[in-house]
Amino acid sequence: MKTLTVSVVTPDGPVLEDAYEMVSCKAESGELGILPGHIPMVAPLTISSIRLKQEGSSERIAVSGGFLEVRPDQVTILAQSAEKPSDIDIDRARRAKERAEQRMANKQSDIDFRRAELALKRAINRLDVKNNNF
């Protein structure tokens, strides 16, 4: 079966590079499914998980936004942050979720509310990836 070389890179360095049969992700314009031979494109990503399929199994990576670049045989994800499930500290993610919920309940300004909302989305995404919730 044909594969795509998938690279996930953050400002801190590479997170993953391997061959996969399919990549699924959420761009700002909607859900994308990428197979080998896909037309070239660039799309901004939302806070979500990247799903990678390889030989009947799948894995996920939590990303906090960024960009997806697609070429017929390669997918590059440039993310602000990216974590494999094994790298996610579930207690830290739970505490971040609780802090964000408290900040949203006690909003001081619209800016504080938006920052807390984004922090909450990142924490929930990390917990979902760690707990393998699809």
Same CATH topology for 4-85 and 89-130? no
C-alpha 24/C-alpha 20 separation (Å) is 11
Beta bridge partners of 80: none
Both tokens of 9, joined, read: 């890179």
Residue-level pLDDT at 32: 94
| Span 20-51, pLDDT tens digits | 999 999 999 999 999 999 999 999 999 999 99
Residue-level pLDDT at 121: 86
May I ask the CATH class of domain 4-85?
Answer: mainly beta
Domain ranges (residues) in the chain: 4-85, 89-130
CB atoms within 10 A of CB 132: 11
pTM over cut 0.85: no
C-alpha 45/C-alpha 25 separation (Å) is 8
**C-alpha closest to that of 50 among 36, 67, 37, 71:** 67
Distance of CA 83 to CAs 41, 73, 111, 127, Å? 24, 23, 26, 11
Helix or strand run (H / E) with residue 126 = helix 110-130
CATH number, span 89-130: 1.20.5.440
| Span 82-125, pLDDT tens digits | 999 888 888 898 888 888 888 888 766 666 777 888 888 888 88
